[in-house]
């Protein structure tokens, strides 16, 4: 064989080898669209910290580095849709994480569905997020399940028979949860004596609370976000209300008790099944807790962070099981997720692409968040 031909073959082999190495090292891009500014910014930032922590723990998969492409959806539906459009069209991500806020997730999911790019919602609990979707999933339980769990705890565990509802009529999350709580509480045999409304951004709830006091419910279910929820707690106590207040997962925020102060005493809310002090903690929950404390020593572990972590955890697991970073393969593997042990308990993705997991109950005692128990709704 002539020397020139040998050199040519050697160069070709080297080129192919380098191309193979380049392909192997090409990052797997995962898009993250969360509310980092606007009304839902605090929750979005906590979830982003969880996603970023998961990246530290799982920096690569299939021999390729994972790259997060983060876009702020600004707590706005239009911005959420635009964020997903940018991520799938310009950044060419193979999967999406997001978002805090069911309304925002619904807007983003529509774009992802058309692009056939799988997405995993963080804490978007409205059934509408995944309804009829082939490519959208979530790492959290849904509102019917959560609302029923709240009603079950109030009726069965607390023995209460008269309830009322106070909801943000402009928020899909609040409207849905209120409906499911009401339906479940009545089905169990309880009475819902009032269903009152307010709008996002309201600061004065005196009129609604005064009417609630007159109706004499034993418990008021208010699926608010933590900032408004804290104001409602304070004003209720200032008016001398004696009924118990109960919220949902959007109240599970480190600042809830800071903002509400003594008015938070006895407040209850549903949450996801994770707490740094929970008994019988799984190995994955311990791993998450230790990693969080190391990465964010100045911040308490929180459920939103765990949900963000879980989303990347689910996507990486799907890529491994499907042995591919192709969006179609990831979608198929996500749909087949069953009995996966995660920091938030054993998780299965059901036929409607929702996560099945227990519902935790939190109570605030002596200025502290206390994880009470887990509930299976009836």
Instruction: Render pLDDT for 280-339 as a digit per residue (tens, 0 to 9).
Output: 788 999 999 999 999 999 998 988 999 999 999 999 999 999 999 999 999 999 999 999
Sheet holding 340-342, edge to edge: 340-342, 345-349, 355-356
pLDDT at position 10, please? 44
Q: Which of 218, 236, 271 is the last residue of a domain?
A: 271
Within a domain: residue 90?
A: yes
Angle between helices 77-89 and 102-115 (to 10 degrees): 30
In a domain? residue 22: no
User: Does residue 58 form part of some domain?
Assistant: yes
Same domain, 78 and 137: yes
Whether residue 259 sits in one domain with residue 152:
yes
Number of domains into which the chain is organized: 2
Residues of the chain with pLDDT under 70: 1-24
Whether residues 109 and 219 share a domain: the answer is no
The CB density around residue 158, as the number of other CB atoms within 10 Å, is 13
Please give the structure tokens belonging to residue 327: 């969006």
Q: Are residues 62 and 49 in the same domain?
A: yes
Phi, psi values for residue 54, rounded to 5°? -60, -35
Q: 239 with 295, same domain?
A: no
Local structure of 194: helix, strand or coil: strand
Q: Report if residue 19 sits inside a domain.
A: no
- Looking up residue 341, the CATH number of its domain turns out to be 3.40.50.2300
Domain-embedded: residue 372: no
Tell me: do 133 and 47 sit in the same domain: yes
Is 299 found in the same domain as 267? no
Q: Structure tokens of 258?
A: 């800071």
Helix (H) or strand (E) holding 166: strand 162-168
What is the number of helices (H) and of strands (E) in the chain?
12, 16
Q: How far apart are CA 135 and CA 117, in angstroms?
A: 6
DSSP character string of 306-323? HHHHHHHHHHHHHHHHHT
| Mean per-residue pLDDT over the chain, rounded | 92
**Whether residue 167 sits in one domain with residue 264:** yes
Please say which residue of 271, 300, 317 terminates a domain: 271
- Whether residue 99 is preceded by a cis peptide bond, meaning omega within 30 degrees of 0, is yes
Tokens found for residue 201: 């951004």
Residue 365 belongs to some domain of the structure:
no
Within 10 angstroms of residue 262's Cβ, the number of other Cβ atoms is 12
User: Does residue 132 form part of some domain?
Assistant: yes
Q: CA–CA separation, 372 vs 174, rounded Å? A: 23
265 and 166 within one domain = yes
Task: State the Cα–Cα distance between residues 310 and 185, nearest whole angstrom.
Answer: 31
- Judge if 243 and 170 occupy the same domain: yes
138 touches 129 (CB < 8 A):
yes
- Point out the domain boundary residue: 271, 302, 328: 271
Same domain, 301 and 340: yes
Exposure string of 303-319, with b = 16+ CB inside 10 Å and e = fewer, is bbbbbbbbbbbbbbbbb
CB 141, CB 117: distance < 8 Å: no
Is residue 178 situated within a structural domain?
A: yes
Half-sphere exposure of 264 (CA within 13 A, CB side): 27
Check whether residue 157 and residue 113 sit in a common domain: no
Domain interval for residue 150 = 144-271
pLDDT at 357: 86
């Amino acid at each position: 064989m002539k020397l020139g031909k040998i050199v040519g073959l050697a160069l070709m082999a080297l080129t192919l080898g380098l191309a193979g190495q380049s392909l192997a090292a090409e990052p797997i891009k995962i898009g993250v669209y969360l509310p980092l500014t606007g009304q839902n910014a605090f929750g979005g930032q906590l979830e982003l910290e969880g996603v970023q922590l998961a990246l530290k723990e799982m920096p690569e998969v299939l021999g390729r580095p994972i790259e997060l492409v983060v876009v702020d959806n600004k707590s706005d539906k239009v911005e959420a849709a635009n964020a997903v459009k940018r991520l799938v069209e310009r950044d060419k991500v193979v999967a999406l994480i997001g978002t805090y806020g069911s309304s925002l997730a619904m807007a983003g999911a529509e774009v992802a569905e058309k692009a056939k790019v799988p997405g995993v919602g963080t804490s978007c609990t409205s059934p509408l997020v995944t309804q009829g979707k082939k490519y959208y999933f979530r790492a959290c339980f849904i509102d019917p399940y959560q609302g029923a769990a709240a009603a079950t705890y109030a009726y069965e565990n607390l023995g209460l028979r008269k309830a009322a509802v106070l909801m943000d009529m402009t928020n899909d999350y609040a409207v849905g949860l209120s409906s499911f709580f009401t339906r479940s509480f009545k089905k169990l045999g309880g009475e819902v004596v009032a269903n009152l409304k307010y709008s996002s951004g309201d600061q004065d709830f005196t009129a609604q609370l005064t009417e609630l006091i007159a109706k004499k419910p034993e418990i008021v279910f208010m699926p608010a976000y933590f900032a408004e929820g804290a104001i409602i707690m304070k004003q209720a106590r200032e008016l001398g209300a004696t009924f118990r207040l109960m919220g949902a997962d959007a109240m599970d925020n480190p600042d809830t008790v800071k903002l509400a102060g003594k008015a938070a005493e006895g407040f209850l809310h549903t949450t996801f099944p994770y707490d740094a002090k929970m008994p019988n903690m799984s190995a994955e929950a311990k791993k998450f807790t230790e990693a969080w404390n190391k990465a964010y020593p100045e911040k308490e572990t929180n459920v939103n962070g765990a949900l963000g972590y879980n989303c990347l955890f689910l996507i990486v697991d799907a890529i491994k099981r499907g042995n591919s970073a192709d969006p179609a393969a990831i979608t198929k593997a996500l749909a087949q997720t069953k009995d996966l042990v995660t920091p938030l308990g054993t998780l299965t993705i059901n036929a409607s692409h929702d996560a099945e997991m227990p519902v935790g109950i939190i109570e605030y005692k002596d200025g502290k968040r206390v994880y009470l128990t887990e509930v299976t709704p009836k």
